Structure formats: C-alpha cells, structure tokens
Structure 1
Amino acid sequence: MEFHYHPSDEIRGMESDSLNGKKLVLGVTGSVAIYKAVDLARELIKRSADVYVVMSKDATKLVDPQLFEWATGNKVFTEFSGEVGHVVLSQTCDGMVIAPATANTIAKLAIGVADTSVSLTALNFIGLRKPLVIAPAMHLAMYRAPQISEAISKLRSYGVMILEPQEDDVRAKFPEVDDIALAVEVAVLRGTDLRGVRVLVTAGPTREFLDPVRFLTNASSGRMGIAIAKEAYFRGADVTLIHGPVNRALIPKYVRSLSVTTTTEMLNAVVNELKNKHYDVVILAGAPSDFKFKDVSKMKVDSSIESLEVTLQPTPKIAEEIRKIYNGLVVGFAAETVGGDVNTLRDRAKRKLVERGFNIIVANDVSSSEVGFNSRFNEVLILGSNGFEKFIPKTRKELIAREILDIIKKLLRVNKT
C-alpha cells in the first residue's frame, strides 16, 4: 500500500473547504516582501486549494525554492526553458495570483512582455480569460508613478484584479494575507458577478453616552458587516460601509467607509447616502443601540455617589426610518438569545421581517460565545419575505457573507425582470 504524506496536509482545510478541488498558481517575483508569499501559500491551502508556485529568477535569489516546495508539497517552477509548463499550468489551474508583484512585473504584463516564468504564465491566464489577481509591493513613489498607474489601469481593463497595497510614508506594502486569499477565492468562485451593483452596508455597534466618559453599547465587533463589504467589493460592487466604533485594523482601506458613533449618527449617515446616491441594496448588519439615556450629563458623573438612577428611552429604528424614503431591497439582521431554540429564533425573525419591512432577515442566536459577537464564526437563519428560508450552520463569517450576497444577487435579478 502506497502512502503519501506532506506537512502541508496538516493544515489543509483548516479554515474551510471553499477552494476544495481548485488548483491555483502562485507567482512570486523579486520583492523584499517575498517572505509573506509563504504565508499566502499556506493560507490558500488552509482553504483547501492545491498551490503550485512559479518563481522569477530574481525571486530565487531572495528565497530558496525549496521553502515553497516545503510549504505547498508541490514542485516549484523557476524556468520553463523548452518546456510548455506555463501552458499546462494555465490550462489545468483555476486561477493565478502574483504576490508580491513588482513594478517591473506589472509594467511588463501591461505591454505583453513575457521574459520571466511568472510573466509568461500570467499572460497565458490573461489570454485564456482565467482569474488573475495581482498584489503589488514596492516603494510608494514607484507605485504612484504614472507609468505604473497606466499599467494597472490597462491590466484592470483586461479583467485582472489588482489589489490596493497598504500604504505608509514610503512604501506600498504587501496587502493583508487574508485579503489576498479572499480576493483569490472570490475571483475563482464568483468573479465580478456584482459589477454595477451599489451596496450600502452598516457594521458594528453604536454608543449612547451617559456623560463624556461612560456610554451604553453592545459587544458587536462589526466583523459580519465588514465581511459583507469586502466580499461585495471583490465581486465588483460599488460599496459604502457605515460603521460604528470598531477595531480600525478591521476596516478595509479599499472600501469607501464612514465612521459614526451614536445610533442617530448612523441613521443620519444612511439617510444622507440614500438621498444623494442610488443604492440597489441596503444591508443593515450593524448593531445600533436600541436605547439611549434620557438625560446626558455634560460633566463626568461623580463616581462617589451611592446610587444613580437613569431613564432609558428608545433610539430610532433605522430600518423603519429609511423605509420612508427608500423602496429598494433591505436586508436586516437580528441578534437573539434563544438558547439554541431554532423555532423561537424563526418566530422572532419572522415578526421583525414584517415589522421592519425587510426583504431578507438574517437571524442568529448569540447565546453561545462560539458564534456571533466578537467571533470569526457565525450560525444563521436567513428568511425572505417571499417565503425563502435557509439555515447555515457554524462557519466563517466570510462564507456567510458570500451566501447572503448570492441571495441578494438572485433577488436583484428577479426585481429587474
């Protein structure tokens, strides 16, 4: 009995099986950010992909190809010579990502120069109209050079997905590994199927202040709404994200975003967007506070007092308010504590679906600490005003975001016919 084992098998599918059965080419060029490409290879494997690495000559001077062979369990391609390896890879693999991509590589691809193994393979993917994702990494001045900007525009016109780098004072840095992996996943599984769709998303909690220091809020991290915004963006949608006080590191810089603090501010931001821009769908994934203090102190309340009585009053319901000015598709969310009782969750979700005028409601039970608030995972029940129902067991919020947008896509198609 023959038995094949490689260390990469230990992490395969650790995140999800979303890329199960998919073969991906990872093109690596001679950037000092090359070490992060190893992390990307492993992240794609964690999502169940088979990864085949192609390295330029300059890349091999920085990192030994054996490192990538160890990371992926597959042969690394450095030179094709008289072989047709680039043809075979482009024909048999489902997509390619170049990360890191140097200015040299980007410029050459834009004019069709194929003088490295990476550019040779990439041009084949472009010619076959197969998914190609590029993650630039270079000095900021070089990234902003008009020649590179023109090259990026040209490649995008060919259908290539080029990610926005992380910028500091001097560098256009390697994008977040998770963002690159998500972009590749979306490119291979969905493409730009939401191109032309305008999406407004809310995310995170709001704060209602008692005094300048203390406030009423909830445990929402904003991860669900942010996941929806990212997924929609990579699928080609025009996205605006309105978020409450969340970890700034979670906010994607490539998505247009507006920051608010209170529920009234979130409502006003949503209303202002709807009055000034057409949106095909509003996704209310945020968790605005349902109550606020009737009396707010301008000075910090003295902590030495023995007792403090406060009066709470309801905040405006964003869904109800926007229905006064917006007749389009609205997706609502409901976080409930039902102790695992799906029937009770369904009943509460159905009631809110009707009361708030939602087309779709996504309900989840936050009784468990393993899903929902401050977790990377969720478990949801999705109901539609048309009688649609779908239960999604515990999985990554990114995958739930994909399911939600798939449902929205179908509804938008029906509404337009």
Structure 2
Amino acid sequence: MPTENKLKGVRIGYALAGSFCTFEKSFKAAEKLRNMGAELLPIMSYNAAGVDTRFGKAEENIRRFEEITGRKVIKTIEDAEPIGPKRMCDVMVVAPCTANSAAKLAVGITDTPLTMAVKSHLRSGLPVVVAISTNDALGACAKNIGILQNYRNYYFVPYAQDDIVKKPASMVADLSLLPDTVEMALKGVQIQPVVFNSQFIIHNS
C-alpha cells in the first residue's frame, strides 16, 4: 500500500499541550499524518491555545493548526466532551505531552480541553498515543510516565534524552516515529523500543 494512503480514513484526535518548543515538529508530524490520508481533529490545552511565547503567538499557532487539519480547533472542555460519546476518533494523539498533562492523565484530573478529550475518548477503550516532551522525564515526571505506560490503551512514541549535558532529566519523543506508533497502536501493539539511545556526548572532567 502506498505510504500516502496507509492511514486513509483513520480519524485521529490530535491534541497539543504547552511544550511550545516542540510545536514546529508537531505541526510537521500532523501534516505527515494528513498526507497519509488521516482525518485530524485538532485539540489544544488552555496553555497551548492561550499563551504567546518566543516560539510563536497563540493566534498564529491556532491558525496554522486549523490550516493543517482543515477544522476548527477544540479549545474548551464543553467542546471536547462529546468526542467519546460520539466516537469521533479512532485514536487520540497527544503530541507534545507535557509533564503537567501527563500528571493529570495519570491521576484522572480533567480540567483542560486536552484532558477531557483523552478521558472522553478512553471511555470507548480506544488507543491514546503519547509523545512525551518534558524537562522532568527522569525527575518529577518519571512516576507519571511510568503510570501511563502501565495503563491499558496508552501507547508511547519512542523517546530519548535530548540534552544529556544541560538537561539530563529531559526527554523528548521522536515525532518522525509518530505515524508508525499510530499504526501499531491501532493494532493494540506498542512500538519498540520505547526508550532509545540519543547521541552520547562524553565530557572529560
């Protein structure tokens, strides 16, 4: 089957949390999914949709997300709630997923459009794909990532340390592997390896 048709007709909820430095890679990943035939439902957390940063203004990010997906971004809890009851998605992607969102998902807190979208989607036992992006992956967030990896229906985009010198606790998903992760999650399989080796930098003291 041609690569561009591998996800034809697959309905993907695509949620952005506020790891703003990852937005550009996430937008490119979303474009790739569209080019593979997927239909995307855009969702943003309150921070992702409302905070201006050096990586772009909120309005610009919303506009670009809507251009990529061809649909209006879901930005409220009320608009996210029907996703599960109406079975609007076959798979839910959270890319990027911050430490904050991961913590809320791990303990069942539903107070943003993103967390409501995931909760609503999970009620039907459908897959959720998480692309972690946090400076605390090997710190405070480690336990929450572990919890999610042991929950049924959660699948992780492979991730690695992104700067072992300046940010040794930081880990980021490789979004080039998002399409493969989605394909396998739809079959109920976790892509492997979940954690891979990034480029090692050895410093002599």
TM-score range, shorter chain: 0.7 to 0.9
**1:194-243 CA distance string (max 9 Å, x none):** xxxxxxxxxxxxxxxxxxxxxxxxxxxxxxxxxxxxxxx61x6xx7xxxx
Instruction: Check 1:88–1:71 CA distance in 2 against 1; reply closer, same or farther (3 A cut).
Output: farther
Instruction: Check 1:87–1:122 CA distance in 2 against 1; reply closer, same or farther (3 A cut).
Output: same
Instruction: Check 1:173–1:71 CA distance in 2 against 1; reply closer, same or farther (3 A cut).
Output: farther
- Matching residue of 2:155: 161
**1:93-144 CA distance string (max 9 Å, x none):** 10011011110100110110000000111122333221101111121xx111
Q: Which amino acid letter does the alignment assign opposite residue 97 of structure 1?
A: V
Q: CA deviation at 1:66?
A: 1.4
How far apart, CA to CA, are the structure 1 residues paired with 2:47 and 2:80?
Answer: 20
- The answer to whether residue 16 in structure 2 is matched with residue 28 in structure 1 is yes
Identity value in percent: 24
Give 1 or 2 for the bigger CA radius of gyration: 1
- Matching residue of 2:28: 39
TM-score scaled by structure 2? 0.79
- The answer to whether residue 108 in structure 2 is matched with residue 115 in structure 1 is no
Residue pairs, 1:79-228, within 5 angstroms:
79-81=76-78, 84-88=81-85, 91-139=87-135, 142-145=136-139, 147-159=140-152, 160-167=154-161, 168-169=163-164, 170=167, 172-188=170-186, 190-192=187-189
Q: Which amino acid letter does the alignment assign opposite residue 6 of structure 2?
A: S
Provide structure 1 residue ranges, at least 5 long, that are not aligned to the other structure. 1-12, 193-232, 240-251, 256-417
- Matching residue of 2:200: none
**1:10-32 CA distance string (max 9 Å, x none):** xxx98421111110001101112
Q: Which amino acid letter does the alignment assign opposite residue 182 of structure 1?
A: D
How far apart, CA to CA, are the structure 2 residues paired with 1:83 and 1:72?
Answer: 16
- The answer to whether residue 46 in structure 2 is matched with residue 57 in structure 1 is yes
Provide structure 2 residue ranges, at least 5 long, that are not aligned to the other structure. 53-57, 198-205
CA RMSD of aligned residues (A): 2.5
Q: CA deviation at 1:177?
A: 2.3
TM-score scaled by structure 1? 0.41
Q: CA deviation at 1:173?
A: 4.7
Instruction: Check 1:82–1:100 CA distance in 2 against 1; reply closer, same or farther (3 A cut).
Output: closer
Relative CO higher for 1 or 2, CA cutoff 8 Å, sep ≥ 6? 2
Matched length: 183
